Chains A and B, each alone.
Chain A
Amino acid sequence: MDFSAIVSDALRSGIGPIAAVYALAAMGLNLHFGYTGLLNFGQVGFMLVGGYGLAITVSTYDGPMWLGVLGGIACAIVLALLLGLPTLRLRADYLAITTIAAGETLRLFYRSSWAEPVTGGVFGLQRFANDFYALSPIDPGTYGVWLVRFSSRDLWVMIVGWALVLVVGGLLALLIHSPWGRVIRSIREDEVAARSLGKNVYAYKMQSLVLGGVIGAVAGMVQAIQVQSVNPDNYDPGVTFFLYTLLVLGGAGRILGPVVGAILFWFVLSFLDSALRQAIDAEYISPDLISTSEVGAVRFALVGVALILLVAFRPQGILGSRKEMLLSGR
C-alpha cells in the first residue's frame, strides 16, 4: 500500500479541474434547489448543451471560441425556457421528472446517428480547445508542491475554473442578498405566501432556472475544454446525482456549500478509489469479491449510501442551516 500515492490522487482531484467544474455546476444547481426549491434533475443537460455549443461552433463550423461560448450560453437559455414553460406552474416533482427526461433525451439525440454530421454521434467531437490553451501564460512543463503535480495545461484550466468559481460565487452572493434573492428564498419557503404578496412566482422561478442553467453550461464548457473532447456518454444522469450529493454534503442554500462540497466529494471519492485499487492489488481485498474493474461501481454505490445517510440524518450538510432545508414539497 503506497499511502503517498493515495493522498496525492485524492488531493489532485480535490483541488483539480474536475472539482472546479463540479463546483461551478453545483453552484447553478444551488440556485435552483438550494435557494429557489426547484428540483432540477437535468443539470447535466445544461452542461451538455454548454459543452456541445462550444464544440460544435468551433469543431464543426470552424467558428471562433468566443462565439462558441455565446452559443453554449444561448442553448442553455433556450433549454431552460423549454423546460420551465410547461413545468414551473406545476408541483415540484413534475419538474424533476421532466428535467431528467430532458437530460436523457438530449443525450440520446446528440448521440444518435441522425445527428452525427453535426455532433459526431457516439464518437463526439475533438479539436476545439486549442484557442483556449493558446491563451495560457504558463510555460509548458509540470508544476507542483509536495505530493501534487499538474501539467501546465491542467494548471491553466484549474486557474480559469477556480477563478470562474470565485466570480460566480461573488455574483450569486450579491444576487441572493438583493431583493430578488429574498423573493426566490421566500418562494422556496412558501410559494403561496409569495404569490399572495403579489409576486410573480412563475417569472422568478423561470429567471432562477435560466441563470442556474447558464452557470451549468459554463461548467460544461470548462469540462469540455479540460477533457478536450465532448462525448454524449459523459453526460449521463449520474453526473446530476453526483452534483446533488456534493451539494447536500457541502450544504444547499449556502454560497460556499457547493465549493466545499465539490472539494470534499472529489477528495473522498478519489481517496476511496485509489485505496480500493491498491488494496485489491495488494490482495487485502480478495479479487473474487471486488475486481479492479468493479471499483467504479463500488464508488457509485458508496455515493448512493452517502446521499441516503446525508439526506436522512443531516439534510443541511456541513454549512447549511437545518431550518432552511426542511423541504416539504407542497
Chain B
Amino acid sequence: MKITIDRDRCCGAGQCVLAAPDVFDQDDEEGLVIVLQESPAPEQHQAVREAASVCPTATIEVTE
C-alpha cells in the first residue's frame, strides 16, 4: 500500500488522524495532514482505507 496526498486540498478536519492515528498527523498551525508512514504495515491498511474515505476533500489517495 502506498499513500499519496494532495496537501493543497487538505482542509484540516483531522478525520484521517481519528481514523488512523499511527499513519496520519496534522501540523500545529493550520492542521494540514502529515503522513507518518507512506507505506503503512498491513495491520494499518483497513484504517488507512477508512481515513481516505472519510476525508471530506479527497486529499488522500491510496494505491494498493
> A and B bound?
no
A-contacting residues of B (Cβ < 8 Å)?
none
B-contacting residues of A (Cβ < 8 Å)?
none
